[in-house]
């Protein structure tokens, strides 16, 4: 059974899908939400020491793809995956996601520039 979402998490998914009309009105809830909400809302400024690789198990393939197109998220999560693998703290799903989304190829800055925040919100989650 999927874990129950906090209301702020539901709202951030609405925002990611371009369905939330008043983003500014909700930003205070996103910023004060739990770590997963803060990550989804602002991947560029998130404190990745608080990131949990298991969150990715609850995200669909479209969202994982979008996350991997964010330069900061890609770099930081890739480092977390490598550390988990080095420490043997992983399961098969984590390993599969690593190779599928974060070790496909080394993206260049131009690749990330094509994936703007607006572009990332156009793929359903």
Q: Which tokens in the block code for residue 68?
A: 């991997």
Q: Report how far Cα 37 is from the mean position of its chain's Cα atoms.
A: 9
Q: Look at 22-26, 58-62, 85-89, 111-115 and tell me which has the smallest mean pLDDT.
A: 111-115
Is residue 30 within 8 A of residue 38, CB to CB? The reply is: yes
Top pLDDT among 6 and 116 is at 6
pTM over 0.75: no
Determine the pLDDT at residue 28: 78
Give the mean pLDDT of 85-107. 73
Q: Look at 8-12, 32-36, 105-109 and tell me which has the smallest mean pLDDT.
A: 105-109
Predicted confidence (pLDDT) per residue in 99-125, tens digit: 788 876 555 544 544 444 444 444 444
Give the mean pLDDT of 23-51. 86
What is the rounded CA–CA span in Å between residue 25 and residue 61?
A: 29
């Amino acid at each position: 059974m999927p874990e129950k979402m906090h209301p702020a998490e539901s709202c951030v998914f609405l925002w990611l899908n371009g369905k939330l009309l008043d983003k500014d009105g909700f930003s205070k809830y996103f910023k004060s939400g739990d770590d997963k909400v803060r990550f989804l809302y602002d991947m560029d400024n998130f404190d990745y020491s608080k990131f949990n690789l298991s969150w990715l198990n609850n995200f669909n393939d479209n969202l994982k793809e979008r996350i991997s197109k964010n330069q900061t998220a890609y770099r930081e999560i890739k480092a977390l995956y490598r550390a988990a693998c080095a420490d043997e703290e992983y399961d098969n799903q984590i390993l599969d996601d690593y190779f599928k989304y974060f070790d496909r190829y080394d993206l260049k800055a131009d690749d990330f520039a094509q994936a703007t925040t607006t572009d990332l919100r156009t793929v359903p989650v």
